[in-house]
Structure 1
Amino acid sequence: MKKMDALTGNEFDIHFIDMMTPHHAGAVAMAKDALSKAEHPEIKTLSQDIIKAQEAEIKMMADWKTKWSK
């Protein structure tokens, strides 16, 4: 996180994506685990929502990184 303090502009944006992608991937992994282990349907529904949203955001950030890294 300290590195982000020194970055601005496109370099900041790329580093932000690099930091957020594994964070989102971790959320997806936890949600998938919850789908198979949770008892309450509310947790299963939330997990499905998290997986859908976070996977879409991971793809979006990957697309941006490709576009902005040229």
Structure 2
Amino acid sequence: MEPQFIKSFIQVVKEQIVKENRVQIDGLGQFHKVHQTQTQKKLDDGRVVLMPPKDKIEFKPEISHTNDDR
């Protein structure tokens, strides 16, 4: 695949996720946003810090129901 296609594809996925849309690619899977709440993290020196909430993009592969991919 061409590098420009990859860059454009990633940009489209990001834009759709920001709009709260899922991106489904038949035969491949689905991209969607997952919200992670604020968490606590204990540092090596014993201090505890709060990690802010964040959104991330996850990919869920489509499961093939055939044995054609052997």
TM-score by length of 2: 0.32
Structure with higher helix content: 1
| Higher relative contact order (CA closer than 8 Å, sequence separation 6+) | 1
For the pair shown, the structure with the greater C-alpha radius of gyration is: 2
